[in-house]
Chain A
């Protein structure tokens, strides 16, 4: 890949090299001490599962079963690594590509497709998973995350020293979002309130077609300094480093240390969405550069070199993703379109005369066909 000015990968926190070699890091090793072989195998499993699901969803879109799909392909280490650093006290505000994080928060992956099949705009109970709904307006949720973190602080859920009580918020967004005013405002509010929020930027190099050089003259992590927010650049395709850095940031935030900005330097191996055509704006050379840095392959190599990834594990995950694929296809096709009248539900919590009048009119209109013996 051409080094894009300041947007190079030479100052990243890396702990697992692209050839699958575990290298020490003076600051972050202690945040990765608990990553035993079983945990790393679990991460490898999650990354493999979410990639298989992602490919399944892409196929379903191609078959016309989904209106759109947003691929997470290539960003598995950033999402699974950071997701594994979270605990049940933490609350996550995702953007709309965080399927890997969703998996770590216990969201049943096929449920995400309700959104992309056009059934509803939000598909899970945010409180049950401590994982907010996807937000499609770029960067808008960074403020919600900050407000939520400010409220956790007020509620005495930060800095008590009790690990069973303390929590923090993680807000995921992309390189494009860093140009949004809301993201800057979120950092202003978070900084002056010392809010326990970790801004986790997945710099996947592109905002649809625009390279990150269209968004910033400096590495995105450097933005933090102007707000007084400590920041770190991490190899986003290194699941060990993503885990360690996020764990550090979360422990800091949970203990009352305030916000942190993490730039995870990664690559969107797929298209922006199934409606996008990356051949118009990037080269094969770029793609092969990043293919050599595949986040799953390097963990696979590392675990294999330790003798910790045997055929049994591979066979088990192969069977699991095959079953997940079957279940995903079946589930998606089994969903019934919601009743038309449901569009009037939950517009307000309390009755609203306009909604009530329009719903009543619409029901009369629908009934008029039945009265005439016409079947809609």
Chain B
């Protein structure tokens, strides 16, 4: 076990993936000499050279579109979109081309492209630098969308995403980049070095996990809000409410089975994400809970998330984002319903 930050874990994961498979290459703006604006690719340009760590022209659609062409020849491009709000110039390539090529070609063309997206808020940034657009991609068949909450998951999931034959949107909670945790580097390497490693890895990165066990309320989170959910569970526990925390890890597919199992035990669910609640991942999850666990529920499923307003100036973001008070308020409401 090695202690590392989430950014460091992704960096180590990228390095391991590039060592394992010479077809893996990185593409993005400022990811070379600079190491990326968040330094996630730090040192890789020096060690792997500009052919495998490619500083691209400043054109997101161009990056994704050329990555598609390279993937058609067996490469595994890993793209860095500099900030969440800058993914939209590539939205057409991602949704009309990347997502649909496998289907359009009756499975003849696989596009193992990973798009890394530093996402979500809380860092005091300017406009377009704090958004949570994951629902837009989860809504598109053909794409996978995952988000790690810990350095261990970041290390494992980035490599599983790269090994997967499907296109994957990899949402990195940028506010958690510098959180530290213990990382076991051996397990995922053994998994992906095995013959069915890509399948096993894809299946594993698609599953949620119970991050904390509890009996009264299920708090569901992913990526940037998992830490908040665990804090809320701690505080609620001190007040005598036992909170279970499910870390979804994957938004598409959505591991509703793990959530429904928990919901049937606790009968109360609160979903926490930074993305706007309207039409967000929580809306889908809430519908599935209603369909599959309706008679086990003691209270309506509640959502805590961003509002149906543009992400505000950073002096207001702490009121826009889910915070401890809003999560605990929702826990109180499902407990007293």
Complex Cα–Cα for A347 and B166 (A): 9
Complex Cα–Cα for A126 and B72 (A): 10
Contact of B206 among A132, A155, A353 (CB under 8 A): A353
Enumerate chain B residues within 8 angstroms of A141, measured Cβ to Cβ.
Answer: 97
A140-B92, A147-B69 known; A351-B61 Cβ under 8 A: no
Complex Cα–Cα for A182 and B256 (A): 38
Beta-carbon contact of A122 and B254 below 8 Å: no
- Distance between B104 CB and nearest chain A CB, rounded to angstroms: 4
Enumerate chain B residues within 8 angstroms of A350, measured Cβ to Cβ.
Answer: 164-166, 198-199, 202-203
A182-B65, A350-B203 known; A133-B104 Cβ under 8 A: yes
B99-123 interface bits toward A, Cβ cutoff 8 Å, 1 = contact, 0 = none? 0101111111110000000000000
- Distance between A341 CB and nearest chain B CB, rounded to angstroms: 14
Beta-carbon contact of A147 and B68 below 8 Å: yes
A-B contact pairs, 5 of them (CB 8 A): A141-B97, A146-B65, A349-B110, A353-B253, A354-B252
- Distance between B160 CB and nearest chain A CB, rounded to angstroms: 11
A206 at the binding interface (Cβ < 8 Å): no
Beta-carbon contact of A140 and B109 below 8 Å: no
B124-145 interface bits toward A, Cβ cutoff 8 Å, 1 = contact, 0 = none? 0000000000000000011010
B213 at the binding interface (Cβ < 8 Å): no
Binding site secondary structure of chain A: helix
Q: Chain B interface: which of A105-113, A184-192, A287-295? A: A184-192
Give the total of A residues in contact with B, Cβ under 8 Å: 43
Complex Cα–Cα for A118 and B109 (A): 20
Complex Cα–Cα for A188 and B58 (A): 10
Complex Cα–Cα for A346 and B101 (A): 9
B308 at the binding interface (Cβ < 8 Å): no
Enumerate chain A residues within 8 angstroms of B198, measured Cβ to Cβ.
Answer: 350
B96 at the binding interface (Cβ < 8 Å): yes
A122-B105, A147-B69 known; A347-B164 Cβ under 8 A: no
B49 at the binding interface (Cβ < 8 Å): no
- Distance between A274 CB and nearest chain B CB, rounded to angstroms: 22
CB-CB nearest in chain B for A136 = B96
A338-363 interface bits toward B, Cβ cutoff 8 Å, 1 = contact, 0 = none? 00000001111111111100000000
CB-CB nearest in chain B for A145 = B69
Complex Cα–Cα for A351 and B141 (A): 12
Beta-carbon contact of B144 and A147 below 8 Å: no
A-B pairs, top 4 by smallest CB distance, nearest first, are A147-B69, A143-B65, A147-B66, A185-B62
Enumerate chain A residues within 8 angstroms of B110, measured Cβ to Cβ.
Answer: 349
A346-B106, A348-B142, A348-B144 known; A148-B65 Cβ under 8 A: no
Enumerate chain B residues within 8 angstroms of A185, measured Cβ to Cβ.
Answer: 57, 59, 61-62, 65
A127 at the binding interface (Cβ < 8 Å): yes
- Distance between A179 CB and nearest chain B CB, rounded to angstroms: 14
- Distance between A89 CB and nearest chain B CB, rounded to angstroms: 13
- Distance between A345 CB and nearest chain B CB, rounded to angstroms: 7
Beta-carbon contact of B253 and A352 below 8 Å: yes
Beta-carbon contact of A354 and B70 below 8 Å: no
> In chain B between 237 and 280, which residues have their CB closer than 8 angstroms to a CB of chain A?
252-257
Beta-carbon contact of B96 and A140 below 8 Å: yes
A168-202 interface bits toward B, Cβ cutoff 8 Å, 1 = contact, 0 = none? 00000000000001100110110010000000000
A120 at the binding interface (Cβ < 8 Å): yes
B7 at the binding interface (Cβ < 8 Å): no
> In chain B between 56 and 96, which residues have their CB closer than 8 angstroms to a CB of chain A?
56-57, 59, 61-62, 64-75, 89, 92-93, 96
Enumerate chain A residues within 8 angstroms of B202, measured Cβ to Cβ.
Answer: 350-351
Contact of B69 among A125, A133, A149, A353 (CB under 8 A): A149
B192-205 interface bits toward A, Cβ cutoff 8 Å, 1 = contact, 0 = none? 00000011001100
Complex Cα–Cα for A121 and B100 (A): 10
Beta-carbon contact of B69 and A346 below 8 Å: no
Contact of B92 among A137, A142, A346 (CB under 8 A): A137
Complex Cα–Cα for A346 and B111 (A): 12
- Distance between A18 CB and nearest chain B CB, rounded to angstroms: 38
Complex Cα–Cα for A122 and B256 (A): 33
Beta-carbon contact of B73 and A155 below 8 Å: yes
CB-CB nearest in chain A for B112 = A349
Beta-carbon contact of B68 and A351 below 8 Å: no
A317-350 interface bits toward B, Cβ cutoff 8 Å, 1 = contact, 0 = none? 0000000000000000000000000000111111
A261 at the binding interface (Cβ < 8 Å): no
A223 at the binding interface (Cβ < 8 Å): no
Beta-carbon contact of B92 and A144 below 8 Å: no
- Distance between B246 CB and nearest chain A CB, rounded to angstroms: 15
Enumerate chain A residues within 8 angstroms of B106, measured Cβ to Cβ.
Answer: 120, 122, 345-346
Known contacts A140-B96, A151-B74, A346-B107; 14 additional CB pairs below 8 A are A133-B104, A144-B66, A151-B72, A151-B73, A155-B73, A188-B57, A189-B59, A346-B103, A347-B142, A348-B166, A349-B107, A352-B253, A353-B206, A353-B257
Beta-carbon contact of B105 and A144 below 8 Å: no
Contact of A147 among B72, B96, B104, B105 (CB under 8 A): B72
Beta-carbon contact of B62 and A351 below 8 Å: no
A137-B97, A188-B62, A349-B166 known; A148-B69 Cβ under 8 A: yes
CB-CB nearest in chain A for B164 = A350
